[in-house]
Structure 1
Amino acid sequence: MSWWVENGPKIAEGALRIALTLLIAVVVRFLLRRLIDRLTRGSSEKRKPGILRPLRERAPQALGALVSERREQRARTIGSVLKSVVTFVVFGIAFIQVLTELGMNVAPILTSAGILGVAIGFGAQNLVKDFLSGMFMMLEDQYGVGDVVDLGPATGTVESVGLRITTIRDTNGTVWYVRNGEILRVGNSSQGFAIAVVDLPLAYGANLPEASAALSAAVTEAVEEELLAADVIDKPDVLGVEKVTPEGITMRVTVKVRPGRQWAVQRALRAKLMPALDEAGITVKSTT
């Protein structure tokens, strides 16, 4: 009984401090997570989340509804990482405080934790590399959901971007899972603007000045039609002869278009320019 009278207040005070430390840690973690949630949510589809405002965004408006989806995924991923960091830091500090209250020497524990962290880091170098690469790609907005990209190992439309894996679906429908740490270069066809390139094969006997005039008139008329007007952002150019081969002559027409729309515009222009050459009496190279 005398022992309790002598040590009871100290034990009670220590227990109270430990409980208070844990309570403060829980409250701080809760408040920080709520703050992160607020920063990762936009007030509307057109207003991007607060956490992304200081960061550069390259998402083209031509992606339409995919822009908000891309912003949401980017903000959600960054927010998830921040939440994990907050949880680790807050509870890590609280754990050290509790050990200190229990009278334990935390210096050897911190040293052991550091050695263990280094060992884990060496054993999981690829995982750490993928994680860091994913973080930088998210922060720099190199690409996002809906972009058409060439990552080297795979080319196609981005379906999801994670901290470790980027998922791409190619034109054949195959889904590719590319590790972020293995991506050495990114070719993005969905940023800023794109160029629709149409190559038209002509026979050697074709009158090139007449072909150029016919193409210029036809492409100017085509881009003014409602079907293509929404995608074209600059006047078309008839560049002239692109190459001469033993099989014939190739003339090239280019148009600056909205990002991601170059392939649709190319198909539409090709369908209009070839008949225009036939109507003008220009000899088109046979494809057989």
Structure 2
Amino acid sequence: MPEFDLPLLADPSAEATLSYLDQALRWLLSNGLMIAVILVGAAIFTALARWLIHRFFRTMIASSTKLTGMAGSVAKRDRRDQAASAKRIEQRASTLSNVAVNVATLIIWLIATVMILDKIGVNIAPVIASLGVVGLAAGIGAQTIIKDIVAGVVMLFEDIIAVGDVVDLEYATGTVVNINLRVTQLRSLDGSLWTVRNGEIIRVGNMSRGYSKAVVVLDLDAGADDARVSEVLARVGEELTADPEWDDVLAGQIEVSGILSEDGARYQRRVVVTVTPGSQWATEMELRRRIREAFASEGISFALPRFADTTGASA
């Protein structure tokens, strides 16, 4: 059987091996080195952008706080209003800075990716053109996401809500723990983390803006002496107002209403006071506790609860 002397492709000659190594070395010293520079540069620019953005917003906080203090001295606002305004500015700056950092990081690394593709040898012109077509198609198919992003930008720059606010978004109620361009996350009273798309937020009830109202509605027995009730409620309001522990919470005088409604078994009175944002629930509990103790010492009775009879009518 004749033997054929075939070349072994798996065993390149020494010259070919040196040629491959030389080409690899040249690529590493040129394009490979440039890719490393691009990666390092992107990391540096990301850190620099993060530092500049945070510095900008810290400066904004400091300047706004000074302006708030100046306005407070002119308008003779008390320190509670100034502290609330400064806290609000800090919350908004923190939220905007986090979003700005995320957007800047995305842009920097997107540019770095395109530059690396160019160094690898990929023709980026068709890639960019394809990205344009894909982006157009994605835009048509992702109108909901675009709607969420636009709504998020508007909501952030109009300062509708900020991290730390207690809000009612119709779909969920709780404390805002995170805001980005697409969703807003709330932590409810029971600990549930609710995520609401920004494009679905139609109305916002912000319970942490400016001031809040502590409201206590009292159902009183129809036989209670209303004059004595008024005296006791006025005394409770004066005692709470004079309590130094509540001095930083109460932002106005306690208002006691007249008779709101009345039937054969009960009538209603209401106590309202303006308080700092977020402290309305604690104030309502304190008012109820003090009113209950005062009524018990004065012999004033609350109305008994209503029950439904067997026919379904209330009794």
Instruction: Place the TM-score, normalised by the shorter chain, in its bin.
Output: 0.7 to 0.9
> In 2, distance between residues paired with 1:194 and 1:205?
33
How far off is 1:180 after superposition? Answer: 1.5
* Alignment-mate amino acid for residue 149 of structure 1: V
Matched with 1:84 is 106
Matched with 1:3 is: none
Q: Paired residue for 1:239, among 257, 260, 271? A: 257
- Tell me: CA distance 1:149–1:213, structure 2 relative to 1, closer, same or farther (3 Å): same
CA-CA distance at 1:118 after TM superposition: 1.0
Please report the TM-score for the alignment, with normalisation by the length of structure 1.
Answer: 0.72
Structure 1's 54 and 68: CA in aligned 2 closer, same or farther, altered over 3 A? Answer: closer
* Count, aligned residues: 262
Query: Is residue 221 of structure 2 the alignment partner of residue 199 of structure 1?
Result: no
Cα 1:105/1:75, change in 2 over 3 Å: closer
Offset of residue 213 of structure 1? 2.3
Task: Look up the match of 1:176.
Answer: 194
The letter of the residue matching 1:80 is: N
User: Could you tell me which residue of structure 2 aligns to residue 118 of structure 1?
Assistant: 136
Residue-by-residue CA offset, 1:209-234 (whole Å, 9 max, x unaligned): 33122211211211321332221111
Are 1:228 and 2:246 counterparts?
yes
Q: Distance in 1 between matches of 2:193 and 2:150?
A: 23
SS of corresponding position for 1:40: helix
The answer on 1:257 being equivalent to 2:257 is no
- Cα deviation for residue 60 of structure 1 reads 9.1
Cα distance 1:283–1:192, how it changes in 2: closer, same or farther (>3 A)?
Answer: same
Shift in Å, 1:278: 3.3
For the 8 Å contact 1:133–1:181, the answer to whether it is kept is yes
Change (3 A) 1:64 1:287: farther
Alignment of 1:2-21 (within 5 A): none
1:40-92 Cα offsets, whole Å, 9 max, x none, are 3259xxxx52477899xxx9945998985764344122221133235446876
RMSD (Å) for aligned C-alpha atoms: 4.0
Deviations 1:213-260 (A, max 9, x none): 221121121132133222111111112223335541110111100000
Match of 1:187 among 199, 205, 213: 205
- CA distance in 2 between counterparts of 1:50 and 1:211 reads 53
Identity across matched positions, percent? 30
Query: 2 CA distance for matches of 1:147 and 1:225?
Result: 27
Structure 1 runs not aligned, ≥5 long? 1-15
SS in structure 1 opposite 2:261?
A: strand
Where does residue 72 of structure 1 map in the other structure? 94
- Measure, in 1, the Cα distance between the counterparts of 2:62 and 2:103: 17
Partners of 1:60 and 1:192 within 8 A in 2: no
Aligned to 1:216: 234
Contact kept, 8 Å, 2:61 with 2:89, in 1: the verdict is no
Sort the Cα spacing of 1:42 and 1:254 in 2 relative to 1 into closer, same or farther, 3 A. farther
Q: Which residue of 137, 155, 172 maps to 1:154?
A: 172
Which one of 41, 52, 56 corresponds to residue 39 of structure 1?
A: 52
Instruction: Kindly name which structure, 1 or 2, has the bigger radius of gyration based on alpha carbons.
Output: 2
